[in-house]
Amino acid sequence: MIRAIAGVTFRALAGRRRTLLVTLLCSLPVLVALLVRASGRATDLDTVTATVVDRLVISTLVPLVALVFGTSALGSELDDGTAVYLLAKPIARWRIVVAKVVVAAGLAVIVTVPAAFASAALLGSGSTWLPHALGYAAGTAIAASLYVMVFLALSLVTSRALAIGLVYVLVWEGILAGLFAGTRTFSIRQYALGVAQAIGGPATTNGPERLEGMTAIALAVAVFAIALVIAIRRLQSFEVGEAD
């Protein structure tokens, strides 16, 4: 049953145009990394790595990709009415949510993690390239799954999930989290960077001090669980057919 839902979700999400767009987006940081290496002018590679992977991958690419997959996995079906074919079935609603999250988060991880790993590996040097790349890959995987979960829950709470998600990413994480250290406790991006650094990412920081690895993971797990519960509860009492 979950497999059937996952299958149709995968086909809906991995449409030709969306896949092409996301793939192009994800190749961008890799291209930038290649250009930096080719130019040979970068002296402080750790700072460059931090800039490309932090800014481009974890802070921009991952939330955008997750926003696309997270808000459309269930949200667009609820909007166009096809969700009825899943809802009007003898299936516990939590199974529908789980199937949707697994597919959407899986897709987001599959497209973003290689981009993070590849660009970090290209920019790395000597013995540090592998731990850097692994750290960023892990941070990216956590960020992608968590963003997808939060945006999917958001799409069940409001029909303007895309706009609100964008504001969260740009305003809260982009501006406020850089100014006030306190906001990092409520920033998916900061969890990801905390994990990345704990595993082996470069210690260079831009913005507030990194969260400690275990704290970051604990916070990420807690936020994921809360978003999951909210999503399931919303879907259990979701009402269809209000517009008569």
Partner 1 sequence: MTDSAIPGWGTTGAGPARPARPLDPTAAVELQDVSRWYGNVVAVNDISFVLTPGITGLLGPNGAGKSTLLHMIAGLLRPSAGQVVIRGAPAWRDPAIYRRIGLVPEREAVYPFLTGRQFALLNARLQALPEPEIAADRAIARVELTDAADRPIGTYSKGMRQRAKIAGALVHDPPILLLDEPFNGMDPRQRLQMMEMLREMAAAGRTILFSSHILEEVERLAQNVLVIVAGRLAASGDFRAIRKLMTDRPHTFTIRSSDDRRLAAGLVGTAAVYGVELTDGRLSVRTSDFGAFTRALAGVARDARLTLFEVRPTDEDLESVFGYLVQR
The site for partner 1 (CB under 8 A) is made up of 1, 3-5, 7-8, 11-12, 15, 80-82, 84-93, 158-159, 233-234, 236-242, 244
Task: Give which of 18, 116, 118 is closest to 58, Cα–Cα.
Answer: 116
Q: How far is the CB of 189 from partner 1 (least distance, A)?
A: 29
Q: How far is the CB of 14 from partner 1 (least distance, A)?
A: 10
Nearer to partner 1, 68 or 220 (CB): 68
Q: How far is the CB of 68 from partner 1 (least distance, A)?
A: 17
Q: How far is the CB of 7 from partner 1 (least distance, A)?
A: 8
Nearer to partner 1, 169 or 232 (CB): 232
Alpha helices in the chain (DSSP H): 2-13, 16-39, 45-49, 62-73, 75-80, 84-87, 93-123, 129-157, 161-167, 177-179, 188-199, 213-236
Q: How far is the CB of 11 from partner 1 (least distance, A)?
A: 5
The gap between the terminal CA atoms of the chain, to the nearest Å, is 31
Burial 182-211 (b: 16+ CB within 10 A, else e): ebbeebbbbbbbbbbbbbbbbeeeebbebb
Nearer to partner 1, 160 or 206 (CB): 160
Nearer to partner 1, 8 or 217 (CB): 8
Task: Give which of 34, 32, 84 is closest to 60, Cα–Cα.
Answer: 32
Nearer to partner 1, 64 or 153 (CB): 153
Nearer to partner 1, 42 or 91 (CB): 91
Per DSSP, the residues of 90-126 read: SS-HHHHHHHHHHHHHHHHHHHHHHHHHHHHHHH--T
Instruction: Write down the residue that tokens 């994480």 correspond to.
Output: 173
8 A C-beta contact, residue 29 and residue 123: no
Q: How far is the CB of 186 from partner 1 (least distance, A)?
A: 23
